[in-house]
Amino acid sequence: MIGTIPFSESSTVTLARAGFQDVQFDKMRLKARRWLLIDEIKFCVNPKNQTAGVFSSDIDGFDFASIITAIIKVGRHYIASDGVPLWLFGSRWNLRSERSSQVLVQSSANPWSSLSHITWKFLHPMLVAPDTVLGFQLRRPSTDTNLDPIAALPNSFDVETTISGSQLLSPPRERFSTVPYVQSYVIPSTDTGKVGESGEYPLRNPFTKSLRVERLVARVAANAATLNAFGPLDLLTYSAFGAGANKMGKNTVLIRVTDNFKYDIANQPSLKWPSVYKPTYQFYDAIWQSQNSSLVAPFTVNPKGWLNVRFERADGNTWNQASFPCSPMFAVIGSRQEAM
Amino acid sequence: MNYAPITSVYRTQLAPGDNVAAFDLNQENDVPIEIRGFRFTAIEGSAVGNPAPNNSATCEPGVWLDWGLQIGSREVRMGDLVPVVATCPRKGYADGVSRTGPSSVQPDGTYYEFKLKDPAFVLPGTRVYVLLRYSRTAPAAILGSGPTTIDATVEMYGKAIPGDLPPPLMVKMPWMTSWRAPVVLLSAAAAVEQSSPDSALANQYDSPVRVTSMLGCLATKFWAGEIVPNSKVRISSSLDGYFVREPTPIMELFSGKSREWGISCAMQSKEYWTVEVAYDASPLLQATTDYAATDQIQAIFGLVGYRTVPLETLYRDPKPEVAHPNIERARPLLPSEKRSL
């Protein structure tokens, strides 16, 4: 009954356009004298409103977590070695899109929060020895990314990172710990019929041990070029775009996931746009769980094995045209065993 | 009946200050049951004679709904009631459903679930009380507006246990405690820092309790807390010092939607936790027109867990403290009495 006490640490960084920041978790390293059992990493992206200087740009359905990427290390072990969009780490809770239960009182003058909350709950808690450095680096793209000009907003973004778990009152007996690992594949925005395919390397098991895959995550970000009904200086005049967004919700992207033996893991479920204007919300097809866009698929990728993901714009759709590009994203979330 | 699922539902309408005991949740089965959890809904009350609830509330009625739990002869005083939002993670199908327009924004899919990590064993004939209270105080509703009445529903669910199995000697009883911070004017919130008293988030028993989760939220007159991103907390234990050392946004520590932080630890006898709250309500005043400086904000926190007690302690003679006329008839049957029937 005795053995742990709770633990939580958080830190905020402010990201300017094309900026990157290291999250300062040194405090945890210096002060934690006990082993930690971390089971959650949470992110909160707060795009500050220019006029209010606080929060709440009113950009319907757009999730700023899709353009902030993270590189994460624990000690010498990578958790996310390439920049992985925060959007792909876990379930997301956003007031605006993906049909949050929280609907604030609405009026024409009342903006909705554009805060994006992402919670990544580990399937297996991760042991962290005292004095281990947890390294987070958060990046925000510059203007030439696929999600320009959203990324080009002059607003600074506050990104809050929180880790939580337990402190062990006595050292663990285990010599190995589960270390999470995330890989992602993000393709630039696609136009009509455009195909993106990851190939061998982005989603390859880089370790000499098996990678235990826990779930796959697929999302589609609307390219900001489709959202240019509002400008960066006026974030509250987006209502005129609502009708178009509704129709965008019916747009589709086809996805096929295979392993290196060409076996289908997820074949051809169509992804709808991730977030649309109320009230005609559209979810992804059932295979991708609607809240976190994930497919729980426990399987093992052997050393040097890999997954291939292929995206394709659906034909025959009114909104499948060059003026409505989008950016599909895909992530493999799993873990492996590492010596402590 | 063995291992069959069981449910029991009680629905009531509460006016401010009303206390109601949900006697319909009694364990009236012939076999023991395991209680797995409770679900609550709280929506703005319907007009008299109108069976349909008013789905256009802009507040979150659950903020004002308190509850208490008594199994067997365990005493629960009204002062022991805890806010539903401080003890029950928020849930909702399809992550909640908004109605169709600005005039109708009640997320009618929202409910609250008190799910027991370990089921509570209950013998046949045992009274199970869930006490409900609409905690809005007169004359001025805290936080601003509030429903005239709340339609509250509580559902108990679990499963039946074969009656010929020997009952356990020890059972795990749910445990919860909470703290409602004093309400603060939005205009003054930035200068206010509050700390929970020693007696609020404390283990008042002589034996350790197992804490399984902590909940926290910020209540305003509209849907609670989601638009106050900069209010932060630090949390410390009377025995172990700070375990949330850095001021951490409430919405971040307590995951936005559920408001729950899942933890697992022992809380020693007489140990207490202290929550320090630093408000920042400036977003409400700067970025919206729906809040006034005279509106209020309130932080609410709760701890949920269980403690292990001998089964026999649940069946002592009750000492009613609850002002309810039926309480004297509520004594559960002792196992020996049950067998003699």
Instruction: Report pLDDT digits (tens) over A279-310.
Output: 333 334 456 665 567 777 788 999 989 999 88
The string of pLDDT tens digits covering residues B239-267 is 988 999 888 888 788 876 778 898 989 99
B241 touches chain A (CB under 8 A): no
Structure tokens at B153: 């529903």
A214 or B317, greater pLDDT? A214
pLDDT of residue B322: 43
* DSSP tag of B252: H
Whether B283 sits inside 8 A of A52 (CB atoms) is yes
Q: What value does the CA radius of gyration of chain A take, rounded to a whole number of Å? A: 20
Residues composing chain B: 341
Residue B318's φ and ψ, nearest 5 degrees, are: -75, 150
Q: Do B94 and A290 touch (CB under 8 A)?
A: yes
Q: What is the pLDDT of residue B62?
A: 79
% pLDDT > 70, chain A: 56
- DSSP secondary structure letter of residue A207: S
Interface of B with A in 253-272 (CB under 8 A): 253, 255-257, 261-266
Kind of pairing between the strands at A36-47 and A157-168: antiparallel
Confidence of residue A211 (pLDDT cuts 50, 70, 90): very high
Please report the pLDDT score of residue B30 as a whole number.
82
Kind plus residue range of the DSSP H or E element containing A329: strand A326-339
Is there a contact between B289 and A107 if contact means CB atoms under 8 Å apart? yes
> What pLDDT is recorded for position B64?
83
pLDDT of residue B184: 86
Interval B148-156 mean pLDDT: 86
Q: Is A66 helix (H, G, I), strand (E, B) or coil?
A: helix
Q: Can the peptide bond before residue B208 be classed as cis, meaning omega within 30 degrees of 0?
A: no
Which pLDDT band, with edges at 50, 70 and 90, does A1 fall under? very low
- Find the closest chain A residue to B234 by CA distance: A8
**Is the CB of residue B55 less than 8 Å away from at least one CB of chain A?**
no
Q: In this complex, do B264 and A105 lie within 8 Å of one another by their Cβ atoms?
A: no
* B314 in A contact zone (CB under 8 Å): no
Q: What does the pLDDT look like over A161-197, one tens digit per residue? A: 889 999 898 889 888 899 999 999 987 665 556 678 8
With a cut of 90, say whether residue B88 has pLDDT above it. Answer: yes
Q: Give the other-Cβ count within 10 Å of A159's Cβ.
A: 27
Which residues of chain B from 114 to 133 reach within 8 Å of chain A, CB to CB? Answer: none
For chain A, give the longest Cα–Cα distance: 62
User: By CA distance, what is B308's nearest residue in A?
Assistant: A1
Q: Cβ neighbours of residue B79 under 8 Å, at least 6 residues apart?
A: none
- Residue range A225-238: mean pLDDT, rounded: 31
| Closest by CA position to B69, among listed B119, B110, B130 | B130
Instruction: Give the strand order in the sheet containing B5-14.
Output: B5-14, B150-160, B33-44, B110-122, B90-92
Q: Which residue has better confidence, B236 or B90?
A: B236
What's the whole-number mean pLDDT along residues B158-185?
A: 88
B74 or A170, higher pLDDT: A170
- Which B positions 198-217 lie with beta carbon below 8 A of chain A? 208, 210, 214
Helix (H) / strand (E) element for B248: namely strand B241-249
Sign of CA dihedral A66, A70, A74, A77: positive
**Which residues, other chains included, contact A303 with Cβ-Cβ below 8 Å and sequence gap of 6+?**
A205, A207, A208, A209, A210
Complex confidence, ipTM: 0.74
Per-residue pLDDT band at B269 (split at 50, 70, 90): very high
How far apart, in whole angstroms, are the C-alpha atoms of residue B263 and residue B212? 5
C-alpha–C-alpha distance, residues A141 and A132, integer Å: 29
SS3 for A119? Answer: strand
Give the three-class secondary structure for A147: coil
